[in-house]
Amino acid sequence: MGNETSKGLSVNVKTFILVLVFVNVGFASKMIHKYYAMKEAGYIREQTFQEQLEQRVMKSFGSMEEMNQMVADITRQKEEAEKLADSFKEQGEQLRFTNVKIEDSKSKLEEEKARLQKQIWELEDSLSQGKKETLIQELTSKIEVLEKENAELKERLK
């Protein structure tokens, strides 16, 4: 027995290795068959789903061409809506810019209004002062005229 192990592997080990190789080959072939079966089932499942979808389309639209036309129309409408949304966004930005300008102009006009109101009040004050002065001058001139008339009347009385 000692001589048999020194020559190489024993018959039991060789048999055991051979059994393991067959088991591994069998397992690998089983897994390969399982992979292909799963792949085929997935393809059939996907194919069935596509057929069901086509049947639904046929019931809903009547034909694939009609459905394709509707999809194309919807896509075109979506693109147009996106263009409109972009233009609305741009118009919104322009409106915001215009609103800022209007607010600036409004504040400048309010300042101008306040300045002009101040000038009006100053002019009214100076006008009322001027009226008072002209009224005083008119009264003094009338008093002078009356004094002259009074003096003439006194001379006539004498």
Contact in structure between 28 and 38 (CB atoms under 8 Å): no
- Alpha carbon distance 117, 136 (integer Å): 28
The predicted pLDDT at position 86 comes to: 93
Length of the chain: 158
The predicted pLDDT at position 7 comes to: 65
The predicted pLDDT at position 101 comes to: 93
Helix (H, G, I), strand (E, B) or coil at 63: coil
pTM: 0.37
pLDDT tens by residue, the chain, 158 residues: 445 444 677 888 889 899 999 888 989 998 998 888 888 777 776 777 777 777 777 777 667 777 778 788 889 999 999 999 999 999 999 999 999 999 999 999 999 989 989 988 988 888 888 888 888 888 888 888 888 888 888 888 77
The predicted pLDDT at position 1 comes to: 44
- Alpha carbon distance 135, 133 (integer Å): 5
